[in-house]
Amino acid sequence: MTNLFGVWIVITFGFYQLVAGFLDFNETELSFIEAFQYGVSKLNYNPPMVGLTLIPSAGAKGAVCLDGTLPGYHWHPGYGSGANSWLIQLEGGGWCNNIRTCVYRKKTRRGSSKYMEKQIPFTGILSDKAEENPVADFFNWNRVKLRYCDGASFTGDSENKAAQLQFRGQRIWLAAMEDLMSKGMRNAKQALLSGCSAGGLASILHCDEFRNLFPRTSKVKCLSDAGLFLDVVDVSGGRTLRSLYSGVVGLQGVQHNLPRICTNHLDSTSCFFPQNLISHIQTPLFILNAAYDSWQIQSSIAPPLADPHGYWHDCRLNHAKCSASQIRFLQGFRTQMLNAIKGFSMSRENGLFINSCFAHCQTERQDTWFADDSPEIRNKPIAIAVGDWYFDRAGVKAIDCPYPCDKTCHNLVFR
């Protein structure tokens, strides 16, 4: 379906109101967005299906999913000029912030490898086809998708014995990196740590750790896709996302694994927000984000609990149904996002692509990563922008004009 403002992606999403609690709501919704990522591609009708590899050594290290099962990843080996290049993609999928939501989560693929797909398609930045992954560059690299089963962006280290919950995200991260290093990643001449959503936040949190795995002669950079979660006031005047993050940090022992350069002067919850981290990251970092991030609109800015009378209901699901005052509110969110990246953008080594779309996660979907009609800023699609930045072909600080000027967006619409 198309309209005057670009491509609309319609996702049937009719039962979210029946799910009680903030975290159940946002996790369910995000799964719909990610299911679309896995299943739809305009170009790649036959993507490679890549099998799940569990990490056998993780158990002895206590590096386990919420339910105690082994963590895992999907690895498509590199070849030719890409044999010694590695792309690590950290999976996203929300967070759990209390015992109830974590117990629910451990019975899903977000908390247990028992429920993970045994094979997943690699599309977008993970594609193995040069015509779909044009950044010459990534299609023949070793490409890895690390599955997400801890609920704290790979940073927690705690447990709750009574509820039989293991919060071991940091240990999973370390065990996965150790396993991949043993399989050849230690020889990487080039490496990119990437992630989408909660994985995009994780790619920021672990960026400098990733850099330190390799010798200084290796080219190592990081990419955060839809990971710029902002500490903002919601439509009721509260701070929904701050409340959620406070629960995640406190429950899962995240505070022990946050960058000290931040925790030395801010509280731990503030240091889980990327806006307080990105200016301190030493490794070159690229931030890709929609200025009107669909997840943040639905689960942070205007979640149902902050909108009891449903004033934002239609706007939340379809931007075309937003009133003039609601659009003004969302323009204010965009302004806050641009303010949050001001210091970060001053570094020549960092990259930016902030498009004025109602979207979430744009690197793994083929139609948004690289296609005939994929989103562009100044005639440059996301894949080319990321490639130009990574390979130092050009500086990339691309910030779109405000909505509704961009006609190339693939906007998400829920119903």
Q: Please list the active-site residues.
A: 197, 293, 360
The answer to whether 301 and 333 have CB atoms below 8 angstroms apart is yes
Q: What 8-state DSSP symbol labels residue 81?
A: G
Contacts of 24 (CB under 8 A, 6+ apart): 101, 104
State the Cα–Cα distance between residues 64 and 112, nearest whole angstrom.
Answer: 9
State the Cα–Cα distance between residues 168 and 178, nearest whole angstrom.
Answer: 15
Residues 214-225 as b/e (b if ≥16 CB within 10 A, e otherwise) read beeebebbbbbb
Question: Which of these, 66, 359, 342, 383, lies nearest to 197 by C-alpha position?
Answer: 359
* Angle value at C-alpha 88, between 83 and 94, nearest 5 degrees: 165
Count Cβ atoms below 10 Å from residue 339 Cβ, excluding itself. Answer: 11
Distance of CA 281 to the CA centre of its chain: 17
Q: What 8-state DSSP symbol labels residue 90?
A: E
The answer to whether 101 and 165 have CB atoms below 8 angstroms apart is no
In this structure, the chain runs to a length of 415
